[in-house]
Amino acid sequence: MLISILTFQGFNELDSFIALGILNRIKKPNWRVEICCPESSVTSMNGVTVIAQSRLEQLHLSDAVIVGSGLLTREVVKNPEIMQQLQEGLAPSRQLIAAQCSGTLILAQLGLIGQIPACTDLITKPWVQESGVNVLNTPFYAENNIATAGGCLASQYLAAWIIAKTQGLEAVKEAMHYVAPVGEKDDYVKRAIANIEIFL
Half-sphere exposure at residue 3, Cβ-oriented, CA atoms within 13 angstroms: 30
As a whole number of angstroms, the distance between CA 56 and CA 36 comes to: 6
- Residue 166's H or E segment, with its range, is helix 155-167
Site string for its own copies, 105-134 (x = CB under 8 A): --------------xxxx------------
3 state SS of 41: strand
Binding string, 61-100, against its own copies, x = CB under 8 A?
----------------------------------------
141-144: list long-range contacts, CB under 8 Å, 24+ apart.
141/116, 141/117, 141/199, 142/98, 142/196, 142/199, 143/116, 143/199, 144/92
CA 112 to chain centre: 14
Cβ distance to its own copies smaller for residue 111 or 182: 182
Verify binding: residue 51, its own copies, rule CB under 8 A: yes
Least distance CB 124 / its own copies (angstroms): 11
Site string for its own copies, 11-50 (x = CB under 8 A): -xxx--xx-xxx-x--------x-x-----x---xxxxxx
**Contact positions vs its own copies (CB under 8 A):** 12-14, 17-18, 20-22, 24, 33, 35, 41, 45-51, 53, 119-122, 136-140, 149-154, 156-157, 178-185, 188, 191
